[in-house]
Structure 1
Amino acid sequence: MRKYSVTHKFLFFINSVFATVLLLSYALPYISPKTIPFLSVFSLSVPLLVVTNICFFIYWLIKIHKNALLSLLVLIIGWFVSTPLIKFTNKEVILNNDLKIMSYNVRLFNHYKHEDDTTTEQKIYKLINNENPDVIAIQEFYNSKLLGIKLPYKYIKTKTKTNKFGLAIYSKHPIINSGSLNFKSSANNTIFADILVEKDTIRVYNVHLESLKLNPKKENFGEKSSERLFKRLENGFVKQVDQVDLITQHEATWKGKKIICGDFNNTAYSWAYKQLATDKKDAFIEAGMGIGKSFRYIYPMRIDFILVDKNTTINHFKTYSDIELSDHYPVMTRLHW
């Protein structure tokens, strides 16, 4: 009978813990953060759990050991019951009458000098103008004097009349109606614009859910203790519940075509995402490739989304992962009806 070393057994124990936690995490989208706030925090760690289990699978596979089956089984289950972390194929169909939708958290156009490059603001404008979207939803918008987005129609909503921070939707096509959901007790918000494209009206929601203020460059992610960090995250997730409820109630009243995009401050493994993505297509899943990382973080985290109605054809999706002008990467999709 083959004997295993203590190290071998310990590694398999650690593997079992990570596999079990990943398996349990598949239930997180079905549990409201208001029910068990502590559990909701783990939705942020699902991408890390997936990567860890892939590493364990590869390790045991190299060893030609049956232990590889544990992580493999959990990963296969996740592929069918959860949102995939990795897309191995993409779709790229270019039609002249596609509607190009971009979403970008611009971090106030570097107003607070997070980036050392003093030309960051101008580079963001240049990127947007060069990519030439039909519609762009901008989160963490700053109404700068240098503002240079060359799209003729816009709806800008700042948090108050006196400050310059908020959300914006710019469009090539006329905006015939617009409004704000006005989140309570939050610096974030959601706005919408009804855009007339030829003879059709398409509603675009620009979503910015409650920020979690994660900063991997700071010790304990900006808190003095892990306990305070978890409490802050719990509070953020609970706030997101009310914000998501407000969005879903509002969008249910619109019977036409709609697009929901923006910075959800949460992953595709969360309750918030599942609520907003119900009966919709995720543009990355339909036409993207790779891991879709949209947030510059210590592990792959996709928190910027473009969701559309089921009857929409998604011809292409791109994450601009080589553009480091903000702490988010811009995302863009091509849509057709």
Structure 2
Amino acid sequence: MKHLSFLNKIIYFINVIVALALLFSYVLPFLPPKTFSVLSVLNLGVSLLIILNILFAVYWLVKLKRQSMLSIVILIVGYVFYGSLFKFSASKNIENPNNFKVMNYNVRLFNLYKWIDKDSIETKIVDFINTEKPHVLSVQEYHPHKNINLSFFKYKYEKLSGKKDKYGQAIFSQFPIVNSGSIEFPNTANNAIFADVVKGTDTIRIYNIHLESLKINTNVEHLKNEDSERLFNRVSSTFKMQQFQTELFLMHKKQCPYKMVICGDFNNTAFSYVYRKIKGNLQDTYDEAGTGFGRTHDFKFFPMRIDFIFADEAFNVNGFKAYNEHFSDHFPIMTKLALETD
């Protein structure tokens, strides 16, 4: 430290703060937001902290300084316990006659209120889905738009609310739906739904979860004008609500007699308490077969993965893809699954 220039001492001081923040963030998935709501806000910044620590490590390595070891060691600890923020390996793509494809997509009401200033976004979304041909489609912020034609699917379950413009969640399936229902989340338009689909001789439970939204406007100018304390309190309150919604979901999940696939927009990251609780002993299909950042949300500052598809351990995860089609504030994801018993 004494051999560092004054500027490098300042840089290393900042490095220490960022490294310790990342190290502390590793315990966040084990801290319930109802008890540690203030700390849970740090969930959203874990990706940024990882990127900053990588930059610090590279900076010191270029200068051949041993200070690089601080960030390197903490990054290795995170990799051992949580895996990589970026997957360098090629995505898995195994062809199997028993494969079936599951897609998750928050379609943002098919651009009903013209958030994207382009025409016919709703038909572009439908064309995209029909081109990719998933066997099961889980949709958040669904709206029965007059131009929507998903007749490619033979079966559907939807749960809508709202007086003027109906919206909610939906599950579309090429396989017969033999049972379906909704898990109501009080005091919100968000909820979770399920559909039991029959593929061959197997009944598979498909869950579609939409946890409470953070309601953060990612426009830079808007964020500059946002009162930081009010934003902080709103995010803390949202994380508490997400924990409550997760607890309701887990009670329902516990009673499920079937192999399951859980899809959804969690409005939280893979470093969060709700992610860890919902995932349980299921497989995150991105971890099993994805590549790159796997980003699912159009967040301007760093890649955000807040939409997930989990699969029972009985499934082989034979593929995963995060798409770049920009028809919503979310990007669609799709996995290929095959039952080991098929």
Interval containing the TM-score (normalised by the shorter chain): over 0.9
Contact map agreement 1:83 1:269 (CA 8 A) in 2: no
* Count of aligned positions: 336
Cα distance, 1:311 vs structure 2 = 2.2
Contact map agreement 1:220 1:226 (CA 8 A) in 2: no
Give a deviation string over 1:272-306, Cα, whole Å, max 9, x none: 00000111100000000011111011211100000
Contact map agreement 1:221 1:229 (CA 8 A) in 2: no
Output the CA distance in 2 between the equivalents of 1:15 and 1:253.
Answer: 47
Cα distance, 1:78 vs structure 2 = 0.2
Cα distance, 1:13 vs structure 2 = 0.5
Query: How do residues 113-124 of structure 1 correspond to structure 2 at under 5 angstroms?
Result: 113-124=114-125
Query: How do residues 1-337 of structure 1 correspond to structure 2 at under 5 angstroms?
Result: 3-89=3-89, 90-149=91-150, 150-160=152-162, 163-217=165-219, 219=221, 221=223, 224-297=226-299, 298-320=301-323, 322-337=324-339
Other structure's SS at 2:193 match:
strand
Output the CA distance in 1 between the equivalents of 2:164 and 2:253.
Answer: 29
Output the CA distance in 2 between the equivalents of 1:140 and 1:194.
Answer: 21
TM-score computed with the length of structure 1 as normaliser: 0.97
Other structure's SS at 1:146 match:
coil
User: In structure 2, do the counterparts of structure 1 residues 252 and 226 end up closer, same or farther at CA, with 3 Å as the change threshold?
Assistant: same
Q: Please provide the CA RMSD for this pair.
A: 1.4
User: In structure 2, do the counterparts of structure 1 residues 191 and 162 end up closer, same or farther at CA, with 3 Å as the change threshold?
Assistant: farther
Give a deviation string over 1:125-173, Cα, whole Å, max 9, x none: 0000000000000001011111111211100110257641100100001
Q: In the alignment, residue 149 of structure 2 is paired with which amino acid? A: G
Output the CA distance in 2 between the equivalents of 1:158 and 1:223.
Answer: 34
Other structure's SS at 1:181 match:
strand
Unaligned 5+ residue runs, structure 2? none
TM-score computed with the length of structure 2 as normaliser: 0.95
Output the CA distance in 2 between the equivalents of 1:233 and 1:41.
Answer: 7
Other structure's SS at 1:240 match:
helix
Contact map agreement 1:317 1:332 (CA 8 A) in 2: yes
Q: In the alignment, residue 110 of structure 1 is paired with which amino acid? A: N
Q: In the alignment, residue 314 of structure 2 is paired with which amino acid? A: N
Unaligned 5+ residue runs, structure 1? none
Output the CA distance in 2 between the equivalents of 1:104 and 1:164.
Answer: 18
What stretches of structure 1 move > 6 A for 4+ residues in a row?
A: none
The range that moved more, 155-164 or 214-223, is: 214-223
